[in-house]
C-alpha cells in the first residue's frame, strides 16, 4: 500500500493512495503507521479521501494505529467518502474518532 505523509506544522498528515483498505492491505498500512509513529509523530491526521472501501480488517488497522499513539498522541480522520462514513457510523467508530470534512479543518483541530 502506498501512503503519502507530509508535515503541516507539528501535525503529520497521512494519506493512503489506494481506493481500498481491506485485508490485503491492512497489514502494510499498520506497519507504515507504526513507522510514522515510532519516528516521534504524535499528532496525526489520516486523510481517507481516496479510500472508497474499508473492511473490518482495515478498520482494525486504523484503530490499532490510534492505540499505538497512546495517551501522548492524537489521531483524527478526514475526507471520508459516504460508504466509509456509513461504516464508521454503523460500527460506532464515529464516536471513537473525530472525523472532519477536510484536511485543513482536521489539521487546525490538532494544532490547537
Cα distances (angstroms) measured from residue 58 to each of 71, 107, 112:
22, 23, 29
CA pair distance 93, 104, nearest whole angstrom: 21
Q: Which element (helix H / strand E) includes 56?
A: helix 56-69
CATH topology of domain 3-111: Transcription Regulator spoIIAA (3.30.750)
Annotated domain spans of the chain:
3-111
| pLDDT tens for each residue of the chain, 112 residues long | 899 999 999 999 999 999 999 999 999 999 999 999 999 999 999 999 999 999 999 999 999 999 999 888 999 999 999 999 999 999 999 999 999 999 999 999 999 7
For the record, the C-alpha cell of 5 comes out as: 505523509
CA pair distance 84, 97, nearest whole angstrom: 13
| CA dihedral (5, 72, 79, 21) positive or negative | positive
Amino acid at each position: 500500500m502506498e501512503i503519502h505523509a507530509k508535515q503541516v506544522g507539528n501535525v503529520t498528515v497521512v494519506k493512503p493512495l489506494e481506493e481500498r483498505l481491506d485485508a490485503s492491505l491492512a497489514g502494510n498500512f499498520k506497519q507504515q503507521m507504526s513507522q510514522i509513529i515510532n519516528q516521534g509523530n504524535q499528532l496525526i491526521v489520516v486523510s481517507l479521501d481516496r479510500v472508497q472501501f474499508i473492511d473490518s480488517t482495515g478498520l482494525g488497522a486504523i484503530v490499532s494505529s490510534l492505540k499505538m499513539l497512546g495517551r501522548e498522541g492524537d489521531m483524527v480522520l478526514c475526507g471520508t467518502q459516504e460508504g466509509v462514513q456509513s461504516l464508521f457510523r454503523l460500527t460506532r467508530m464515529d464516536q471513537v474518532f473525530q472525523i472532519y470534512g477536510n484536511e485543513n479543518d482536521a489539521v487546525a483541530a490538532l494544532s490547537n
